[in-house]
Amino acid sequence: MPAKVASADTLDKWSACLKDAILGPKILAEAKKTRTMENVEFLNAMKVGDKKQTAYDKYIKESSARQVNISDRLRTKFDDVAKSPKPDWSKAPWGDATKEILNLVRDNFKHLDQ
pTM of this prediction exceeds 0.85: yes
Distance CA 113, CA 87 (A): 40
Asked if residues 4 and 95 have their Cβ atoms less than 8 Å apart, the reply is no
Cα radius of gyration rounded to whole Å, the chain: 14
pLDDT tops 80 at residue 7: yes
Determine what percent of the chain is predicted with pLDDT higher than 70: 99
Distance CA 39, CA 41 (A): 5
Amino acid at 114: Q
Mean pLDDT value across residues 61-71: 95
pLDDT, tens digit, for every residue of 27-63? 999 999 999 999 999 999 999 999 999 999 999 999 9
Tell me which residue of 31, 40, 17 sits closest to 101, measured CA to CA: 40
Tell me which residue of 98, 30, 87 sits closest to 59, measured CA to CA: 98
The confidence score (pLDDT) of residue 1 equals 67
How many other CB atoms are there within 10 angstroms of residue 44's CB atom?
14
Give the mean pLDDT of the chain: 95
Tell me which residue of 59, 63, 89 sits closest to 77, measured CA to CA: 89
Mean pLDDT value across residues 73-98: 97
How many other CB atoms are there within 10 angstroms of residue 95's CB atom?
11
- pLDDT bin (cut points 50, 70, 90) of residue 114 is confident
The confidence score (pLDDT) of residue 2 equals 76
